[in-house]
Amino acid sequence: MAQAEKKNMLRIGMIGYKFMGKAHSNAYRALPMFFGGAPLQPEMAVLCGRDASAAETARAQLGWRELETDWRKLVERDDLDLIDINAPSDAHLEIAVAAAKAGKHLFCEKPLALTLADARTMLEAAEQAGVKHMTGFNYRFSPAVKLAKKLVDEGRLGRIYHFRAWFLQDWIVDPDFPLVWRLQKEIAGSGSHGDLGAHLIDLARHLVGEFDEVVGMSETFVKERPLPTEMSGLSARGSAAEDAPRGPVTVDDATLFLARFAGGALGSFEATRFAPGHRSTNSFEINGSKGSVRFDFERMNELEVYFADDAEDVQGFRRVLCTDAAHAYADAWWPAGHTIGFEHTFTHEMLELLTAVAEDRQPSPSFVDGVKCQEVLEAVERSVEERRWVKLTELTEG
Amino acid sequence: MAQAEKKNMLRIGMIGYKFMGKAHSNAYRALPMFFGGAPLQPEMAVLCGRDASAAETARAQLGWRELETDWRKLVERDDLDLIDINAPSDAHLEIAVAAAKAGKHLFCEKPLALTLADARTMLEAAEQAGVKHMTGFNYRFSPAVKLAKKLVDEGRLGRIYHFRAWFLQDWIVDPDFPLVWRLQKEIAGSGSHGDLGAHLIDLARHLVGEFDEVVGMSETFVKERPLPTEMSGLSARGSAAEDAPRGPVTVDDATLFLARFAGGALGSFEATRFAPGHRSTNSFEINGSKGSVRFDFERMNELEVYFADDAEDVQGFRRVLCTDAAHAYADAWWPAGHTIGFEHTFTHEMLELLTAVAEDRQPSPSFVDGVKCQEVLEAVERSVEERRWVKLTELTEG
Amino acid sequence: MAQAEKKNMLRIGMIGYKFMGKAHSNAYRALPMFFGGAPLQPEMAVLCGRDASAAETARAQLGWRELETDWRKLVERDDLDLIDINAPSDAHLEIAVAAAKAGKHLFCEKPLALTLADARTMLEAAEQAGVKHMTGFNYRFSPAVKLAKKLVDEGRLGRIYHFRAWFLQDWIVDPDFPLVWRLQKEIAGSGSHGDLGAHLIDLARHLVGEFDEVVGMSETFVKERPLPTEMSGLSARGSAAEDAPRGPVTVDDATLFLARFAGGALGSFEATRFAPGHRSTNSFEINGSKGSVRFDFERMNELEVYFADDAEDVQGFRRVLCTDAAHAYADAWWPAGHTIGFEHTFTHEMLELLTAVAEDRQPSPSFVDGVKCQEVLEAVERSVEERRWVKLTELTEG
Amino acid sequence: MAQAEKKNMLRIGMIGYKFMGKAHSNAYRALPMFFGGAPLQPEMAVLCGRDASAAETARAQLGWRELETDWRKLVERDDLDLIDINAPSDAHLEIAVAAAKAGKHLFCEKPLALTLADARTMLEAAEQAGVKHMTGFNYRFSPAVKLAKKLVDEGRLGRIYHFRAWFLQDWIVDPDFPLVWRLQKEIAGSGSHGDLGAHLIDLARHLVGEFDEVVGMSETFVKERPLPTEMSGLSARGSAAEDAPRGPVTVDDATLFLARFAGGALGSFEATRFAPGHRSTNSFEINGSKGSVRFDFERMNELEVYFADDAEDVQGFRRVLCTDAAHAYADAWWPAGHTIGFEHTFTHEMLELLTAVAEDRQPSPSFVDGVKCQEVLEAVERSVEERRWVKLTELTEG
């Protein structure tokens, strides 16, 4: 592992500068102002992108000091401590292994890789290199999710019976929305399952524990789409011409599955991009013997909380606005009642990354969590393919 | 007072059979089934209406035994114990005084009369006759309002600082909606103020106590409307022809006022029929030193409740569905979670009426409450007219 | 079929007088007042219950004219036109077959029978007798559900992609809640699945169409419970002593399943009695290519509606309060904005029953729907037992 | 006016570094990343604070290049283009006048000054100096408020009948909360009225137009409070000892007022710090002849919108999540459905400031708006004092 030249600074090289690259940059920039007391601060050293012109524009706008166009050079530089990988999913494996070999700490967006085998290879590389590794499950870092986790851990919800979660979007309901990379299996690995379902699986593991078995189903409602004229982002809504050449959609539009957790709870999961009215409804509910919690990302500052032992005439779900001094991260932000936005799930995520490196421990979630999420994703895929229940042990013991 | 011929039955004569007459009839019919244990049950004896044909149709449908077309005969019948007055407001005074003189118990819809002086005359007549008297403030009898009252009375909200309430409707926003009787001062007394504001005032008195002083403002946004071809109900929406003859609207479309309560709380009130999207939003919020409650009649089974001494990480308004065994009236209805409708505010109201008669005490709210509501209504009207704060003592001591 | 002696009256004999018997009685009583124009009105002729004393009390309170204590005598009486069966589920079969043979029209609560075979026997008996038959899926008759159905039928939601539904309750979360009949397989048939899931299945069929295949899972979280001292209703909450003798719970506490509909939509279903904070959350959402709808029974007067073709700057779920003149049944009730309660799903249900008899057609939902619901219930049970996807054709073609 | 040395950079000197100073700094930092295309970008040049040690800490954390401890020196520096004034309200006047005389552009937090006279002096100074001036009404810049404004301006709500607004907080409900500067009239000018009510007044002017007349009332519920041991911020909750020396609270805890707008609409306003459960509920509703909108700052990404001409069976308030491409600022942020936080009302505010300077026009809202807000504030205060309606012309024509 490289030594930071500047005291208390972690020198970062980042690969990718689209949606996630922008979110990470913003998080790194926010840390000194809002978490100035953290033991380590990020140095936004080098941004890396293949398209020199576009990458340079991004570098200037996002606030990185230098540019690299070859990720192989980037990971070999000896003036960097950590590589932040947010390139498309098909590039994760090669970069992560090379960076680990070069002794760099690793941050990698989810899903960790296109396959479970690849994810395991990445974890092994990181472990062999003795570097720190983190997977980008940013929703864990919403203050409301933190509160849910606290209530579970403190036993305030009792024994957990149910976890149900759904991640609903609607950005590709239009059949003329183009065939962007997120709809191509060879780049994205999977569709709603790996993109949205992966977040739900991680939240489930985080809040309820390990999975025991799953059974699922998938569907691709729109089988062909217009080829995109240029690689568009999430916002390419309806941009394609009607007579544009079309190609096959090779990922799932929707994947649902049921699960049994090792601890005995029952789980229900749904990820879809075909739910009009839901721009990005990432929602879950937990029912335990003593109470319940509900979360909806579109109102991410809120957690609904129910306690079965409240006085009998005033029982009901409480809408807790997680901006009080008693809530995670609230001291760093604004007075009570003043909400924060989506972007700061990343700020808190990067705070954990930097703190873990400073404390010489693995961040949480690490690549281990990335691999375990991939196990569940793949168990569901196997279940869909073979139309049967799949035990997680089939993937972990085989 | 007349003696009930049948044991445990209160023989009722009812004047009026439109919206309120239907609601009362339904309440009387519901009592034996849902509150069969009450000490007194209603006998739906005689319905009274001037238009013999229409009244007979109503009698048959609403389930009354006999018909009278002359209310003077009705109140003189010696086979009746109580007169239920829900004719238009301009008829209340004469009927109530005559019925009281005939020794009949009285139930009268709000507002009690067109003027405070008339309301007082009615109360005096009832008191001189020694009969029971009740004013139809039905919203008091919503289980959620009962819970609010209980929390206030038990001190669970602490010292009350604020009461704010609004009753918003939109049924006359269309300028071609016809000039029905509710828009004519000589029949209705006032517009949104007496119709909607009266309910808010009564809830305020019920929950927070007496008024000390008020200042208000009124407006009639649409000054002229088409004359109705026939006297239409609330549902005459947009029925008038464009070239129909028009007449002046002589009541307020909206009335707002501020208030100071005798106990030191501050009040804010708004009643309007010009709030698109609000079919009938009767809503209030109370803030006290220890907590707050919120009510919205469109979700009448719910009360939102906040306690300042909840554990600091789970503070928030609770959505209490007032259908649990711990809530008022719930035992009589359905299992927890199964809601009741608007109509049963009247069922509970009539339960109080019958129980009070059986227990030989005045019902609550009585004509005294009707008069006190009228005092506030009139204080506000005086304030609007004279553009100044008006003390309630100006009306009660002068 | 017997002839009604009184013109325009359907003479009813009802078996059962607990929760459902009370709900039905209330519905029959409401019809003349609110739907006086219907071609046929109910005559509440004979109530039937084995316990003569308790049944007589119920008869008097619920408003039935006569009492029978032997259902075999009841179904043979020639002064009755219809038998309303709301006894515990294990009694449905025998009564329905006998009543059909006696030429009586049939109304039967859901689930129709303990097994699919029994349900089919009931349907066959009714068809052979040529009588009318209806199954008690009352939630279809909520005005908000009616609106959802209308939007689907008129194509305003487009092609349906998703149906997700959950029926969550919490009345047996306490492990000391006693072993009431609803927790015993031999009487109730199943637990949350047949009690709650049956409603979801019927709503799914009603709104989205037939099922193609299912895969499910079940759990009984609390395996033993105190024996009840007397047969308690839904409200026996925590009434048992700690050292009371205990017996095995033989039904499911929770059942979840995934489904594929014949029309291509994906379904997700969850029924549980272990969801603290949910007294009776019967909720569904439909996503179609043109829009979505959401329903929650705890706010049964509301339907949330989203249209993808709304102007792009004002897209969002609308909260539609289904009390406007444009909504089903609204004319019969109160002015816009004044809600109705749970009970009137039954009023509307019985209106359909009586109207269908008057029009000499089968009511909807009929026993056919009861059988089809049972097919899905049983397909799920087989799936749970055999841990595999089950095609509906396995049950219908075997 | 000074010339920016660096091309396209506006060199800023900022006075104050507490809540508002932090919010402004964060906004300046965000601009290059999210609004890199703006014609002018901020240069965070000099931070100014009297307490050298605390100010230096703030400077380092908030990211300013240099420090000044004397604001008189700051405003005279010739390497600055704009002075951002967010010191306590009693300091605004002197600083603004001096900075204007020194040719600096001005940004000043609301309320502009302690009195209307002072506010006018500030405006005159700015106008005489020919500099740009902006008042910090940041809520205008919430995307949901922008949408409300758009709907009003495009006539999609029709003629406006009602504006009702309330700003509810609860941070001083505890009577032992200390006597911080915001509770002292000589520093803060007023309490909830100037702090919270000022925002409501500005939103009303922005959305509905000018005020015609007002009538109000005020109250200080807790008359004495413990003296603070150190000048605490908003978060000094319950920090005082019981036997601490106490001083008089000289500002209002709550102020309510009614208003008539020049355009004929009626207004209702309430600002209080005594509403338990409301951390910072800044909420308004507008009712117009064609529709209504509702906003609640605790869910600042949402606007509820109702249109009276929606199809009659699907009328209802829509919950519009203002993160779509069609919404203000959305392109700069994240994909649809990903919310932003409180802080970016300031980012958008500063974008307007910089854009206006670049375009050589006055920003909106300018000091003119600050003065007009002060007129309404003072009209209300006069109304409270003299217990009468006060016309705005009394203040503007006197």
Contact A258 C260 (CB under 8 A): no
A170's torsion region: left (phi>0), alpha (psi -120 to 50) or beta?
alpha
Nearest in space to B100 (alpha carbons), one of B77, B86, B83: B83
- What CA–CA distance (Å, rounded) separates D303 from D312? 21
Provide ipTM, 2 decimals. 0.94
Partner residues linked to A259 by β-bridges: A214, A267
User: Would the CB atoms of A32 and D63 count as touching at under 8 Å?
Assistant: yes
Grouping H, G, I as helix, E, B as strand and the rest as coil, residue A250 is coil
- Among A310, A345, A249, smallest CA distance to A26 is for A345
CA distances from D186 to A37, D180, D189, D196, D249 (A): 35, 12, 6, 17, 11
Please indicate whether, in this complex, the C-beta atoms of C337 and B19 are within 8 angstroms of each other.
Answer: no
Residues 112-171 of B with CB under 8 A from C: 169, 171
pLDDT for the residue numbered D238? 46
Q: B172: closest CA among B245, B95, B249?
A: B249
CA atoms within 13 A on the CB side of B224: 7
For C9, counting Cβ atoms within 10 Å of its Cβ (0-12 exposed, 13-18 middle, 19+ buried), the class is middle
| Cβ contact, residue pair D33, A22, below 8 Å | yes
What's the rounded Cα separation, in Å, for the pair C126 and C114?
17
Share of chain C above pLDDT 90, in %: 91
- Interface partners of C (3+ CB pairs, < 8 Å)? A, B, D
Instruction: Say whether pLDDT at A382 is over 50.
Output: yes
3-state secondary structure C195-255: HHHHHHHHHHHHHHCCEEEEEEEEECCCCEEECCCCCCCCCCCCCCCCCCCEEECCCCCEE
CB contact under 8 A, D33 and A25: yes
| Nearest one of D95, D92, D108, D102 to D129, comparing CA atoms | D102
Each residue of B177-193: pLDDT tens digit? Answer: 999 989 999 988 899 99
Count CB neighbours of A386 within 10 A: 9
Is the sign of the CA dihedral D381, D386, D388, D392 positive or negative? negative
Q: Which CATH number fits domain D143-299+301-340+374-385: 3.40.50.300, 3.30.360.10, 2.40.128.20, 3.10.20.30?
A: 3.30.360.10
Q: What is the pLDDT of residues B266-293, one digit of tens each?
A: 999 999 999 999 999 999 999 999 999 9
Query: What residue has token string 């508002």?
Result: D20
CA distances (Å), origin D302, targets A344, C31, D143, D367: 19, 42, 8, 29
Q: How far apart are CA B265 and CA B259, in angstroms?
A: 8
Sheet holding A66-68, edge to edge: A66-68, A41-48, A9-15, A82-85, A105-109, A133-136
For tokens 């990379």, what's the residue? A181
**D318–C315 C-beta distance less than 8 A:** yes
**Does A283 reach chain C within 8 Å, measured CB to CB?**
no
CB contact under 8 A, D340 and A341: yes
Residue with tokens 């000048």: D231
Delimit the domains of chain C by residue range: 9-139, 145-299+301-340+374-385
Q: Position A393: which residue type?
A: T
Quote the CA–CA distance of C290 and C267 in Å, as a whole number: 18
Compute the distance between CA of residue C336 and CA of residue C325 in angstroms, rounded to an integer: 7
Rounded to whole angstroms, the Cα distance separating A362 from A360 reads 7
What's the mean pLDDT in C110-118?
A: 93
Phi, psi of A19 (to 5 degrees): -50, -55
Which of A313, A315, A318 is facing B314, going by the closest CB pair? A318
Q: How distant is the Cα of C327 from the closest Cα of chain D, in angstroms?
A: 6
Q: How confident is the model at residue C396 (pLDDT cuts 50, 70, 90)?
A: confident
**Which residues of chain A lie closer than 8 angstroms to C164, CB-CB?**
166, 270
Span C354-384, pLDDT tens digits = 999 999 999 999 999 999 999 999 999 999 9
Q: Is D280 on the interface with A (CB under 8 A)?
A: yes
CA–CA gap between residue D364 and residue D135 (Å, rounded)? 8
Q: Mean pLDDT throughout A334-353?
A: 97
| Region B138-154 average pLDDT | 98
Tell whether A68 is within 8 A of chain C (Cβ): no
The DSSP string of C338-350 is ----TTHHHHHHH
Judged by DSSP in three states, B225 sits in strand
Beta strands in chain C (DSSP E): 9-15, 41-48, 66-68, 82-85, 105-109, 133-136, 160-168, 211-219, 224-226, 246-248, 254-261, 266-272, 281-288, 291-296, 302-307, 317-321, 390-391
Bridge partners, D46 (sequence order): D13, D66
The pLDDT of residue C188: 87
Chain C partners within 8 Å of D313 (Cβ): 147, 150, 320, 324, 326-327
Per-residue pLDDT of B43-88, as tens digits, reads: 999 999 999 999 999 999 999 999 999 999 999 999 999 999 999 9
Mutation choice for A interface testing from D17, D24, D33 by most A CBs within 10 A: D33
Helix then strand then coil, in percent of chain D rounded to 5, is: 35, 25, 40
Q: Is residue C333 packed enough to be buried (19+ CB in 10 Å), middle (13-18) or exposed (0-12)? A: buried
Which residue among B170, B270, B287 sits closest to D275, beta carbon to beta carbon?
A: B287
The Cα C32–Cα C34 span in angstroms is: 6
Residue C371, token pair as written in the block? 């059988």
Rounded to 10 deg, the angle between the D92-101 and D116-129 helix axes is 10
- Provide the residue-wise pLDDT of chain D in tens; the chain has 398 residues: 344 445 799 999 999 999 999 999 999 999 999 999 999 999 999 999 999 999 999 999 999 999 999 999 999 999 999 999 999 989 999 999 999 999 999 999 998 999 999 999 999 999 999 999 999 999 999 999 999 999 999 999 999 999 999 999 999 999 999 999 899 999 888 999 999 999 999 999 999 999 999 999 999 999 999 998 754 444 444 455 667 799 999 999 999 999 999 999 999 999 999 999 999 999 999 999 999 999 999 999 999 999 999 999 999 999 999 999 999 999 999 999 999 999 999 999 999 999 999 999 999 999 999 999 999 999 999 999 999 999 999 998 75
With residues binned 3-state (H G I as helix, E B as strand, rest as coil), the percentages for chain A, rounded to 5, are 35, 25, 40
DSSP string, A121-135: HHHHHHHHHT--EEE
The alpha-carbon radius of gyration of chain B (Å, integer) is: 21
Q: Write out the two tokens for B56.
A: 């007979």
Instruction: Go through D270-295 and write b for each residue having 16 or more CB atoms within 10 A of its CB, e for each that does not.
Output: bbbbbbbbbbbbbbbbbbbbbbbbbb
Work out the burial of residue B5: count CB atoms within 10 Å of its CB; fewer than 13 is exposed, 13-18 middle, 19 or more buried. exposed
Q: Which chains neighbour B (Cβ–Cβ under 8 Å, 3 or more pairs)?
A: A, C, D
| Cα–Cα distances in angstroms (integers) from residue D298 to residues A304, A340, B173, in the given order | 15, 10, 30
Residues in chain B: 398
pLDDT(C5) > 70: no
Residue among D305, D307, D314 minimizing CB distance to C305: D314
Strands D133-136 and D105-109: parallel
CA dihedral B223, B226, B229, B230 (to 10 degrees): -20
If we measure between CA atoms, which residue out of D218, D201, D216, D264 comes closest to residue B257? Answer: D216
CATH superfamily of A9-139: NAD(P)-binding Rossmann-like Domain (3.40.50.720)
Cβ of residue B326 closer than 8 Å to a chain A Cβ = yes
- Lay out the sheet containing D82-85: strands in order across: D66-68, D41-48, D9-15, D82-85, D105-109, D133-136
DSSP symbols for A18-68:
SHHHHHHHHHHHHHHHH-TTSS-EEEEEEEE-SSHHHHHHHHHHHT-SEEE
**Among A60, A72, A80, which residue's Cα sits nearest to residue A13?**
A80
Q: What is the crossing angle of helices B116-129 and B92-101, to 10°?
A: 10
Q: How far is CA C242 from CA C184, C226, C230, C278, in A?
A: 20, 8, 16, 25
Confidence band, pLDDT 50/70/90 cuts, at residue B4 = very low
Strand partners, A271: A167, A255
> Which amino acid is it at C144?
A
Q: Answer whether residue B383 shows pLDDT above 60.
A: yes
Q: What are the b/e assignments for B88-127, b being 16+ CB within 10 Å?
A: bbbbbbbbbbbbbebbbbbbbbbbbbbbbebbbbbbebbe
Omega within 30 of 0 (cis) for the link into D365: yes
CB-nearest to C162 from A216, A274, A316 is A274
Please, what CATH class does the domain formed by C145-299+301-340+374-385 belong to? alpha beta
What is the structure's pLDDT at C398?
A: 58
- Minimal-distance CA residue of chain A relative to C168: A287
The verdict on D241 touching B (C-beta cutoff 8 Å) is: no
The verdict on a CB contact (< 8 Å) between A326 and B312 is yes
